[in-house]
């Protein structure tokens, strides 16, 4: 059982690293795109993975940079979320034989807040894109904007917050158990 | 906490050191120290039984209830 858990954690660690690198590239690409759009506006139609925001760029530059800012924030927050997961898995202070610790609880709370921020920014980004469409701007699908699944992020945030509260009670019980002679 | 542990009093009466009690009861020194200093949150009946047996006393000689002021 112990070996299975260790193996599972190693697999999860590798997966977290792969996803972390992926989301870092994505976040970096969005930021670089925004920078290039500022310096060389001609390349707007050739942005990262066919995210064609040239119509929005032509319509209004401030709207374009607002949308790019939201996309970048979501990208950075996603990278931060996986960074927290990686540090949690690599932290030497995390003792899995006694998992109910304040360190793990803090990590779970961080993940919960990060998921909440991603959810809120994604939701706002989608609402903003929809509002722009009503203004007559041709916008790509939210899937291409990497802003989809806001409800899932919010749901995940709530679940993680509940788990953090369960951990709080677990820590109390573990402390009481340790002081039972 | 209104429950006071009088283990040190009983140990003094029996002229028994913490090390000796630890060996006879089979509890670690740190756990006995937790109990003696009143930091313990709970005590198992088996522990209480072992202590009472070694110190030849009643649970009431070790545990006392005092109202909080």
Q: How much of chain A, in percent, has pLDDT values that exceed 70?
A: 92
Asked if A181's CB is within 8 angstroms of B32's CB, the reply is yes
User: What digits encode the pLDDT tens for the residues A125-166?
Assistant: 888 888 888 888 787 777 777 787 889 999 999 999 999 999
Q: What are the angstrom distances between the C-alpha of B16 and each of A156, B21, B54?
A: 58, 7, 10
Q: What are the angstrom distances between the C-alpha of A28 and each of A13, A95, A174?
A: 22, 34, 42
The confidence score (pLDDT) of residue A160 equals 96
Taking the Cβ of residue A179 and every Cβ of chain B, the question of whether any pair is shorter than 8 Å is answered with: yes
Q: Please give, rounded to a whole number of angstroms, the shortest distance from the CA of B67 to a CA of chain A.
A: 22
Taking the Cβ of residue B47 and every Cβ of chain A, the question of whether any pair is shorter than 8 Å is answered with: yes
pTM of the model: 0.74
| Beta strands, E only, A70-124 | none
The confidence score (pLDDT) of residue A154 equals 95
Do the interacting molecules here have an ipTM over 0.90? no
DSSP A139-153: ---TTTTT---HHHH
Task: Locate B9 and state its tokens.
Answer: 């009093």
Task: Locate A72 and state its tokens.
Answer: 């970048």
| Residue to test with chain A: of B27, B41, B45, B62, most A Cβ within 10 A | B41
The confidence score (pLDDT) of residue A101 equals 86
Does B52 have pLDDT greater than 70? Answer: yes
Residues of chain A with confidence (pLDDT) below 50: none
């Amino acid at each position: 059982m112990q070996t299975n858990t260790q193996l599972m954690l190693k697999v999860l660690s590798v997966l977290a690293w792969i996803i972390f690198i992926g989301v870092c590239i994505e976040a970096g690409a969005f930021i670089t795109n925004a920078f290039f759009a500022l310096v060389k506006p001609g390349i707007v139609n050739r942005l990262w993975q066919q995210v064609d925001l040239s119509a929005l760029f032509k319509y209004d530059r401030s709207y374009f940079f607002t949308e790019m800012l939201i996309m970048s924030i979501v990208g950075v927050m996603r990278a931060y979320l996986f960074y927290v997961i990686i540090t949690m898995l690599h932290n030497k202070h995390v003792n899995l034989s006694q998992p109910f610790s304040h360190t793990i609880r803090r990590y779970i709370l961080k993940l919960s807040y990060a998921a909440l921020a991603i959810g809120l920014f994604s939701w706002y980004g989608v609402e903003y894109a929809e509002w722009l469409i009503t203004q007559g701007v041709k916008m790509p699908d939210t899937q291409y904007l990497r802003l989809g699944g806001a409800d899932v992020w919010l749901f995940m945030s709530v679940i993680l917050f509940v788990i953090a509260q369960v951990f709080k009670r677990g820590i109390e019980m573990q402390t009481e158990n340790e002081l039972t002679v | 906490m209104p429950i006071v542990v009088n283990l040190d009093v009983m140990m003094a009466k029996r002229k028994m050191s913490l090390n000796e009690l630890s060996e006879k009861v089979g509890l670690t020194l740190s756990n006995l120290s937790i109990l003696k200093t009143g930091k313990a949150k709970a005590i198992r009946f088996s522990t209480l039984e072992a202590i009472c047996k070694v110190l030849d006393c009643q649970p009431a000689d070790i545990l006392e209830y005092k109202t909080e002021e």
